[in-house]
Chains A and B, each alone.
Chain A
Amino acid sequence: MTASSLQLPLALGFRPALGEEDFLITPCNALAVAWIDRWPDWSASALVLNGPAGAGKSHLASVWAQRSGATRARPGVSVDLDALVPQGARLLIDLHAESHPEPAAEAPWFHLLNLLRERKGQALIVAREPAARWPVRLPDLASRLAALPQVEISPPDDALLSALLVKHLADLGASLDPAVLRYLLPRIERSFAAIAGLATELNQAALSAQKPITLALARKVLQEPDDAGKRE
């Protein structure tokens, strides 16, 4: 209850800006963007978009969903696939943090892929791991997944790192001074997840202190031994 007492902040946030004009194209995601731009010419009834957490997959996917009028879908045992996949269906299947479909959902997935082909529908499948590497037990599904076109968002390049940090903070309602950004950039782990984590920590520290994100605050956040371990 002395210097160590710390006011915890409310988790204030905004709906992240997920519009087309909020998506930043850099070399690491240019190919994924090109595939999205190429739609509907995907040479298949589904495209798999994969990449590490925080790479902007869901953002790009929602841009596509807006453009194509796709509905969000999740094949599963209790899902009426027949209703889910009408003629010419466009589906967005985002696995989010889940690494692959659970075993019970494999048959519905298989049926869904067949229905898409049959009904001339198309789906964008979003996952962290390439579909060819999902540990799928049903051989027919595994083979169909492995044959799908597949595009990856690669780890962030330097230009994206700084833009991403600013964007994450903007989504949290915080702004960043260029001098602080210059300080942070050479000192941070260069991965999507680390950038998102850092933005959250900076924002929380600033909210807790009711101060802007200053150089001193940034320094403190980076040196926190606990948090350095978490960012590993």
Chain B
Amino acid sequence: MKLTIDRAALLKSLAHVQSVVERRNTIPILSNILIEAQDGDSVSLTATDMDLDMVDRVTCSVSVPGSVTAPAHTLYDIVRKLPDGASVELTSEPEKERVTVRAGRSTFTLPSLPTADFPSLASDDLPFNFTLSSAELKALIDRTSFAISTEETRYYLNGIYLHATQQPSGPVMRGVATDGHRLARVELPLPKGAEGIPGVIMPRKVVLELRKLLDESDGAVTIGLSETRIRLAFGAIILSSKLIDGTFPDYERVIPTGNDKVLELNRNSFAEAVDRVATISTEKSRAVKIALGTNGLTLTAHSPEAGSALEELEVSYTSSPFEIGFNSRYLLDILKQVQGDVAQFIMADAASPTVVRDRADGSAIYVLMPMRV
């Protein structure tokens, strides 16, 4: 194989795929990416960690069609350090099991493993196919991914749960994530073709990779789904992954419906106040206390080492006075996702879940458990 490619195009594509490759691999071939150049003017780069695969296609000029594998991170580092505007030549030498990278006066020779060793990608039949706009998918991920759990023994929480359900407004697709302390639930109109999809858990790694890539894309994303796999295609990229083999909890049970204390406040000024006051709270708990009364809201924090803080806010609250504690980071995470000016806190008491929503937008709701302070 021999091809010539613009450094910037190669770098962009390598940046995409190398991110899938784990830093430490017990199986050597998984440290490599597969470079395949067919007849014509494009090359595809493939990376996999056995669960998640990514294929990206870039324009280039192919003089000898063929394929080769190369160490992903090394190749990426090399191309990153090449001067902008350079033209890169990739040549395989299968008999010597190596690959050569040339640009200007630089030449690198890298070890290569046989392409036959590269795992073949799953080509399962995906019975459900539908399309979401890049903006919809971004919103779904942003409003839920902060709540994904990283605790590995509860592997079924290590992703976003996607499923279809019926709302009075019509059929919707829901994304739900929780780490046991807070829960985020987002809805969007069910796309055509997604009727009857199984409830699936999209792993955290796919979510994060996808979110990065979506920043560069504003077209439509074509999604293929089965009970065990998801495939997302957009631009020149195809991302395909196993889904988490587990059961998502019966999450509806933790979304309270009978809370009666409604607090409305300005999202920005509240977020800023929480951030200021939390400077004092201990690193470990990040607890802040909210006291609600007829005169408004008082936000306090104190720690034996750092002292104490108090800030008062004007809010709309007419129910009985009470106090409740929260993890300030959790409050900020949620407030960041509220787009409108007014955030609504719907509460019951200091030991029960609080519902947070955007007054202007009912498509997302957040559930937050208080702290005992």
Asked if chains A and B are in direct contact (CB within 8 A), the reply is: yes
Q: Are A1 and B353 closer than 8 Å at their CB atoms?
A: no
Q: How large is the interface on B (under 10, 10 to 19, 20 to 34, 35 or more residues)?
A: 35 or more
Cβ proximity bits B267-301 to A, threshold 8 Å, 1 near / 0 not: 00000000000000110110101000000000001
Cβ proximity bits B127-166 to A, threshold 8 Å, 1 near / 0 not: 0000000000000000000000111111011000000000
Bound: A2/B325 CA distance, A: 12
Interface assignment of A11: CB less than 8 Å from any CB of chain B: yes
Stretch at the interface among A12-20, A30-38, A43-51, A132-140: A12-20
Bound: A207/B304 CA distance, A: 26
Q: Are B254 and A8 closer than 8 Å at their CB atoms?
A: no
Bound: A169/B235 CA distance, A: 45
Bound: A15/B247 CA distance, A: 10
Of A173, A174, A213, most buried by chain B (CB within 10 Å of CB) is A173
Q: Are B183 and A10 closer than 8 Å at their CB atoms?
A: yes
Interface assignment of A7: CB less than 8 Å from any CB of chain B: yes
Q: Are B154 and A1 closer than 8 Å at their CB atoms?
A: no
Interface assignment of A211: CB less than 8 Å from any CB of chain B: yes
Interface assignment of B4: CB less than 8 Å from any CB of chain A: no
Q: Are B153 and A212 closer than 8 Å at their CB atoms?
A: yes
Bound: A151/B372 CA distance, A: 45
Q: Are A15 and B250 closer than 8 Å at their CB atoms?
A: yes
Q: Are A9 and B250 closer than 8 Å at their CB atoms?
A: no
Q: Are A10 and B250 closer than 8 Å at their CB atoms?
A: no
Residues A9 and B303 in contact in the complex (CB < 8 Å), given A1-B289, A1-B325, A174-B154: no
Residues A210 and B302 in contact in the complex (CB < 8 Å), given A6-B372, A7-B369, A13-B250: no
Q: Are A210 and B151 closer than 8 Å at their CB atoms?
A: yes
Interface assignment of B180: CB less than 8 Å from any CB of chain A: yes
Interface assignment of B227: CB less than 8 Å from any CB of chain A: no
Bound: A5/B181 CA distance, A: 14
- A3 shortest CB reach to chain B, Å: 8
New A-B contacts (4) at CB < 8 Å, excluding given A1-B373, A8-B371, A212-B151: A1-B301, A3-B282, A8-B351, A211-B151
Interface pairs A-B: 5 shortest CB-CB: A207-B180, A212-B153, A5-B287, A5-B285, A12-B249
Task: List 27 A-B residue pairs with CB atoms under 8 Å apart, sorted by A's residue number.
Answer: A1-B302, A2-B282, A3-B284, A4-B372, A5-B282, A5-B325, A6-B372, A7-B181, A7-B285, A7-B371, A9-B181, A9-B369, A10-B182, A10-B254, A10-B353, A12-B249, A12-B253, A12-B254, A174-B154, A207-B180, A207-B181, A210-B179, A210-B180, A211-B151, A212-B151, A212-B153, A213-B153
